[in-house]
Amino acid sequence: MKKTIITVGMIFLFFSCGKDKQKEEGGGLMDMIEGVSDLNKMAKEAEKIEEENEKLVTTIPISNEALKSMLPESLLGHSRKKFSVGNQFMPDVAMGEAEYEKENGDIISLSIIDGAGETGSAMVTLARLSFARDFEEQSDRGYRKSTTINGYKAVEEVEKDDYSDAEDAKIDLMVANRFLISVEGQNMSVNQLKKAVDELDLKSLEQKAN
């Protein structure tokens, strides 16, 4: 039953987005063929997710202390100004957040969500569906596309400022099909953010999932 709900929801979301895109770009036969191909890929991913979701629901989230250890004191030369672990609004979700800042005001935000537990697994399930599709979206202000970073499925996003050449970037990664990592930078290129990702001990986080 759960698999049916996930798959139906995924199909609805996919075709809703597809219709909007076709209205904007005119659409065509090749778009429809590519859409069906993506849909089949996402359906297979949904089946895999459903199988793994049952295990995540009963898995104990990592401790706040373990999460804190994954938030380095500095990132890409930016000093950690504040951090938090745990979530008062969702106490059953293991979550860690940190903010890093340079003297010039540039800021990097880092968040880690553990998909273990009932609520956490639901959040990560939705994220995994978004990682399942290969895509690229562009506008006059930037782009958003699926990619792979250090062997992990990822989505990178860039948005340019309307009045200057400055840009903000964001990278979302999925580690061990359990941990959702988000790194966001103000006045920072996506290549700089990738260097920040290189400084994170994702292998250690991956080991905690096993």
Please check whether residue 84 lies inside any domain of the structure.
Answer: yes
Whether residue 26 is contained in a domain is answered as no
Decide if pLDDT at 4 tops 70: no
Confirm whether 29 is domain-assigned: no
159 lies in some domain = yes
DSSP the chain: -HHHHHHHHHHHHHHHHHHHHHHHH---HHHHHHHHHHHHHHHHHHHHHHHHHHHHHTSPPPPHHHHHHTS-SEETTEEEEEEEES-SS-TTS-EEEEEEE-TT--EEEEEEEE--SHHHHHHHHHHHHHHSS--EEEETTEEEEEEEETTEEEEEEEEE-SSSS-EEEEEEEEETTTEEEEEEETT--HHHHHHHHHTS-HHHHHHHT-
- Residue 28 falls inside a structural domain: no
Residue 74 has pLDDT above 90, yes or no: yes
- What CATH number is associated with residue 167? 3.40.1000
In a domain, 49, yes or no: no
pLDDT of residue 37: 61
pLDDT at residue 197 tops 90? yes
Taking the C-alpha atoms of residue 207 and residue 146, their distance in angstroms, rounded to an integer, is 24
Q: How far apart are CA 4 and CA 118, in angstroms?
A: 18
Q: Evaluate whether residue 147 is within a structural domain.
A: yes
Q: What is the pLDDT of residues 172-185, one digit of tens each?
A: 999 999 999 999 99
Determine if residue 129 is left, alpha or beta; phi over 0 gives left, psi from -120 to 50 gives alpha, anything else beta: alpha
| More confidently predicted of 138 and 43 | 138
Q: In terms of pTM, does the model score above 0.85?
A: no
Q: Considering the chain, what percentage of its residues have pLDDT values greater than 90?
A: 54
Comparison of pLDDT for 103 and 188, the residue scoring more: 188
Residue 44 has what pLDDT?
A: 75
Q: Give the pLDDT of residue 47.
A: 79
In a domain, residue 37? The reply is: no
Q: Which domain holds residue 67?
A: 56-208
Residue 29: what pLDDT? 45
- Of 28-32, 37-41, 85-89, 96-100, least confident by mean pLDDT is 28-32
- In this prediction, residues 58-70 reach a mean pLDDT of 93
Look at the chain and report how many structural domains it folds into. 1
